[in-house]
Chains A and B, each alone.
Chain A
């Protein structure tokens, strides 16, 4: 039995980071994610870790990458406008294959928007926010307990695949308090990046012959290396207009897309015999569950598909679902973003209907139930 606590989602995120071995946090104050920073500012010094409030969001992302290159498991947390600002350095982390975790507590936007209101409208920014082609792993927990466990998983995935991992959840679950159990040490698996075993002279930081995820050496560990945001050869040095760029970017994508089975997680609820499926994550997934209960009580066969991994998108699962249900209902706190992915995978095999809301309140179970009745 672990420790029981009543925690905010943001606090559970911080606890998850600590459980996963995070010893470095850099951030900047922003609603509604600030509690992650506040919590870690209290806890990290107690374990000898580093907490630094940087001068801006861009700097926080840079410091996190710097710390990770020094071998530290590193975290930053932000929201809408701050997430936009971090994008360039996140791209650096993706190209240079730097493990780290970025938390985005989604609030209304664009611009300053509704700082204290929930949103799910950063979900495409999670995928395409930085320029260029790049791999993205993004997790979307819906309950406070899940924020804890998915943050642990985010660190594990970032270490396993040597890439930044995003954890995205909305303001409601970031701020609400639920009971969570923090497992004792050792109960959940905690993974560390693969480090080189070859001699420093032989070491190449991006050696594709070592597999899609080459071992990563820490700065100051004797493995002197050059890391650059320019496209690079396996030895880390810049490359210009060369077939290597194409194959290396393919490798970056492949190390994520090729491991979909390992990365993609989701919960299903009464989906086996469902005629109408709801595809929803985060707080909308919670409403979806209640809507399914209401529909079942009314004799309608509804079920829920609730992704915990939104990127890479669960394409095969949604395609399979589309071929056996009459309709997929997609409630989201945006004016329609993730629905395009559902439509892409459904390939016209079933109706796909969205429910959109951006007024600062969550989509209610009744709103979803009404839509289920309409499409059944």
Chain B
């Protein structure tokens, strides 16, 4: 039996704003399947976003949804999560939203290891504003504000998240869909800050400018240039040049922020014992 997406999609809110060939719809469906698999009740989950194409996703899904300001989804989500630590709070963001304008919030949410599932849709470009280069646009590639080829070095989003303290870091692609479902499930299940980068295609403002003939070409590029982390790690560097690893790239046990905060609250609220 095919999956019933309608149970999660808000009536009358489709069609979505994404362009033909955009892979965000693939991620959207994967996200719905993952949350359904985990049997999280609609009332118990919030999806928070900032600004950009990815940030429009919450508007379509029948949860508690919040579309905030550019780059600031994580602070809003932090306020929600710290107020309701028993609820599931997720953030959906893009490469520019999460790592440029929201970079400070991103690294500090990772540092706190607050239990927010953060999904970063990396399409290598600012799509909504028409194709300006982002912190992940490959060097040399064309963007509307890099007409002679991008000279800006990149962020590697999983490395950034790991270095900043996130306790679960993964990467998936819009091409590897069954694997993506599993990754989203694991990211949500993880207690602590989980960062899942999902490689996406923006044929309209990135692919077209950078010699991808079609959206399909971009998906094939994902297929040809990614390697599961287990395989990636076994190969010598010359064999992995230009390729990127996918899967669960990093995880560790670490105290979760709300747990630590409310444990402190419990401790200081206890009546003092053994008075002098």
Nearest Cβ distance between residue A166 and chain B, in whole angstroms?
A: 18
Q: Is the CB of B59 within 8 A of A59?
A: no
Chain A neighbourhood of B62, CB < 8 A: 224
In the complex where A48-B269, A66-B83, A228-B59 touch, is A59 in contact with B78 (Cβ < 8 A)? yes
In the complex where A69-B66, A227-B67 touch, is A54 in contact with B75 (Cβ < 8 A)? yes
Interface SS of chain A: helix, strand, loop or mixed? mixed
CA distance A46 to B272 in the complex (A): 12
Q: For the complex, is A183 an interface residue (Cβ under 8 Å from B)?
A: no
Contacts of B47-69 to chain A: CB distance below 8 A: 48, 58-59, 62-69
- Beyond A55-B105, A58-B105, list 10 extra A-B contacts (CB 8 Å): A48-B265, A55-B108, A62-B69, A62-B76, A66-B77, A67-B79, A70-B83, A220-B84, A222-B43, A227-B66
Nearest Cβ distance between residue B146 and chain A, in whole angstroms?
A: 26
Q: For the complex, is A226 an interface residue (Cβ under 8 Å from B)?
A: yes
Which of A's residues lie within 8 Å of B, judged by CB? 24, 26, 45-46, 48, 50, 52, 54-56, 58-72, 74, 88-89, 92, 219-222, 224-230, 237-238
Q: For the complex, is B35 an interface residue (Cβ under 8 Å from A)?
A: no
Q: Is the CB of A70 within 8 A of B84?
A: yes
Q: For the complex, is B72 an interface residue (Cβ under 8 Å from A)?
A: yes
Q: How many A-B pairs with Cβ below 8 Å?
A: 132
CA distance A222 to B62 in the complex (A): 11
Q: Which residue of B lies closest to A49 (CB)?
A: B265
Nearest Cβ distance between residue A20 and chain B, in whole angstroms?
A: 17
Which of B's residues lie within 8 Å of A, judged by CB? 10, 13, 42-44, 46, 48, 58-59, 62-69, 72, 74-84, 87, 104-105, 107-108, 261, 264-265, 268-269
Chain A neighbourhood of B268, CB < 8 A: 45-46
Q: Which residue of B lies closest to A44 (CB)?
A: B265
Nearest Cβ distance between residue A163 and chain B, in whole angstroms?
A: 17
Chain A neighbourhood of B75, CB < 8 A: 26, 54, 58-63, 66
Interface SS of chain B: helix, strand, loop or mixed? helix
In the complex where A89-B69, A219-B64 touch, is A66 in contact with B265 (Cβ < 8 A)? no
Q: Is the CB of B72 within 8 A of A70?
A: no
Report 19 cross-chain contacts, Cβ distance below 8 Å, ordered by A residue.
A24-B82, A26-B78, A45-B264, A46-B268, A48-B269, A59-B74, A60-B75, A61-B75, A62-B79, A63-B78, A65-B79, A67-B79, A69-B76, A69-B80, A70-B80, A71-B83, A89-B69, A220-B46, A226-B67
Chain A neighbourhood of B264, CB < 8 A: 45
CA distance A72 to B105 in the complex (A): 22
Q: Is the CB of A62 within 8 A of B72?
A: yes
Nearest Cβ distance between residue A361 and chain B, in whole angstroms?
A: 36
CA distance A67 to B81 in the complex (A): 8
Q: Is the CB of A66 within 8 A of B76?
A: yes
CA distance A191 to B198 in the complex (A): 45
Nearest Cβ distance between residue A142 and chain B, in whole angstroms?
A: 31
In the complex where A224-B42, A224-B64, A237-B13 touch, is A50 in contact with B83 (Cβ < 8 A)? yes
Chain A neighbourhood of B64, CB < 8 A: 219-220, 224-225
Q: Is the CB of B68 within 8 A of A92?
A: yes
Q: Is the CB of B269 within 8 A of A46?
A: yes
Q: Is the CB of B59 within 8 A of A226?
A: yes
Chain A neighbourhood of B67, CB < 8 A: 226-230
Q: Which residue of A lies closest to B48 (CB)?
A: A66
CA distance A70 to B48 in the complex (A): 13
In the A-B complex, list the 6 residue pairs whose CB atoms are closest, starting with the nearest. Answer: A66-B79, A62-B75, A63-B79, A70-B83, A55-B108, A59-B75
Residue among A48, A66, A74 having the largest count of chain B Cβ atoms under 10 Å: A66
Q: Is the CB of A54 within 8 A of B78?
A: yes
CA distance A62 to B83 in the complex (A): 13
Residue among B44, B87, B265 having the largest count of chain A Cβ atoms under 10 Å: B265
Q: Is the CB of B108 within 8 A of A59?
A: yes
CA distance A237 to B10 in the complex (A): 11
Query: Given B79, B105, B108, which contacts A24 in the complex, CB threshold below 8 Å?
Result: B79
Q: Is the CB of A54 within 8 A of B66?
A: no
Chain B neighbourhood of A69, CB < 8 A: 66, 76, 79-80
CA distance A303 to B48 in the complex (A): 53
CA distance A238 to B66 in the complex (A): 12
